[in-house]
Amino acid sequence: MRGRFFLSLSAAVLSGCAGAPRAVTPASRPGAPSAARPASPADVHFLSGMIAHHAQAVLMAGWAPTHGAGAAVRALCERIVVGQRDEIKAMQTWLADHGQPVPSATDTRMHMSMGGMQHDMLMPGMLTDEQMAELDAARGAELDRLFLTYMIQHHEGALMMVDELLASHNAAQDNAIYKMASDIWADQDSEIERMEKMLAARP
């Protein structure tokens, strides 16, 4: 998977074991930060983008009960909603504590100002409006198939975002940022493997 490959590469370089046969999680990186640091631009960009990324995942997973999802997909969706809502709150708290703008928990676009103009961005792996409409229109077994396919794509994008953060200068030096990024990587990598198995087991 693309996101895991990128993360494996950067984490291996950071840990000095580029020949490792399996992806190295951020938590295994030596020299992990031990004290709070001021907010870096990369940290703020990561959290702001990940809040929007999580907001879309929560919206997608929230359709399971009303769109006829199967029991296994419903259980997965419940986990995603609870876990990612909690992570959104933690990321919002960190941004507020560091005097940074705090995105809404339901805003699925990252807002950036460039050249005096406001731009709305989709983060890596996020679904387009057309894909979201396709998922919203699906029911039952077709919803399960599309949800698993699109959420794997979505999670892979989150791994790419963690990879980008860890490759950025002076990024993730704050304990809280490092832990959040590590937890996101571990949870979503595990869920990707689970969803791949669920998708492969479908008739």
**All structural domains of the chain:** 2-9+39-104+111-200 (1.20.1260.10)
* CA-based end-to-end distance of the chain: 23
pLDDT tier, 203 (very low <50, low <70, confident <90, very high otherwise): confident
**How far is the CA of 106 from the CAs of 35, 62, 85, 109, 124, in angstroms?**
31, 12, 10, 9, 17
Tokens encoding 201: 């087991």
Q: Return the DSSP state at 68.
A: T
3-state secondary structure of 174: coil
* pLDDT in the model for residue 38: 75
Question: In this model, does residue 13 exceed pLDDT 70?
Answer: no
pTM: 0.82
Instruction: Give per-residue pLDDT as tens, 19-55.
Output: 333 344 454 443 454 455 678 999 999 999 999 999 9
* pLDDT in the model for residue 119: 63
Instruction: Give per-residue pLDDT as tens, 136-195.
Output: 999 999 999 999 999 999 999 999 999 999 999 999 999 999 999 999 999 999 999 999
Q: 60-99: string of b/e by CB count within 10 Å (b at 16+)?
A: bbebbeebbbbeebbebbeebbebbbebbeebbebbeebe
Contact between 11 and 29 (Cβ < 8 Å): yes
